[in-house]
Amino acid sequence: MADFRQYAPATERNRQPILEVLQQVLPPSSTVLEIASGTGEHITFFAPRLGHLQWLPTERQALLRESIQAWGEALPAANLLLPALDLDVSDRPWPVETDALPEPITAIININMIHISAWEMCGHLMAGAERILPAGGVLYLYGPFKREGQHTAPSNETFDQMLRDQNPDWGVRDLEEVEAIAQTHGLQLEKMLPMPANNFSVVFRRG
């Protein structure tokens, strides 16, 4: 039988530190919407360890949706809602705005996306969070960020150049610019936590 699971090596290194932050910032009951779930390794790790929440993966690439499904079948959890939704943040409305869910969405997580997508996708993500999240809802971002236009480590500068060489629309984003867009969509920066490998956990809350 074919195994459609894909692997992202960084996931094994960062999933536990991310989990520890999510345990602090996610609401006590909710559907957690993951935007751009990638291989599915993160959400299948989080779901059984945060069993009081419902977890809904999304991914616009069909091959990755197959990977998410395969990971979900290999590591089943009753609170993992499959199949993953085909969701592109630039679409409006998002599928979750029209589909019935067991619990309302009060948290959105997005790991390692905005630096490997066009800058306008950040704005689309924030606009979707504004539409979906209730007052007090959480938007969690993880990834590398610049601070006040400067890289926080030489390795991030190298990584940024590699991304831009691969696609000129990609690149490590400036946190202050991300925060400015978030504010226009009713999202306030609540905390920013340094993470391993010069990444950050960034938590926004819906006003």
Question: Would you call 132 helix, strand, or coil by DSSP?
Answer: helix
* AA letter at 64: L
Q: What is the pLDDT of residue 73?
A: 97
As a whole number of angstroms, the distance between CA 167 and CA 163 comes to 6
Predicted confidence at residue 173, as pLDDT, reads: 98
pLDDT of residue 57: 98
Q: Can you tell me the distance from the alpha carbon of 94 to that of 24, in angstroms, rounded to the nearest whole number? A: 27
pTM listed for this prediction: 0.97
pLDDT score, position 1 = 66
Rounded to whole angstroms, the Cα distance separating 109 from 26 reads: 10
Q: What are the tens digits of pLDDT across the range 98-113?
A: 888 888 999 999 999 9
pLDDT at 166 over 70: yes
Class of domain 9-206: alpha beta
Give 134-154 pLDDT, tens digit per residue. 999 999 999 999 999 999 999
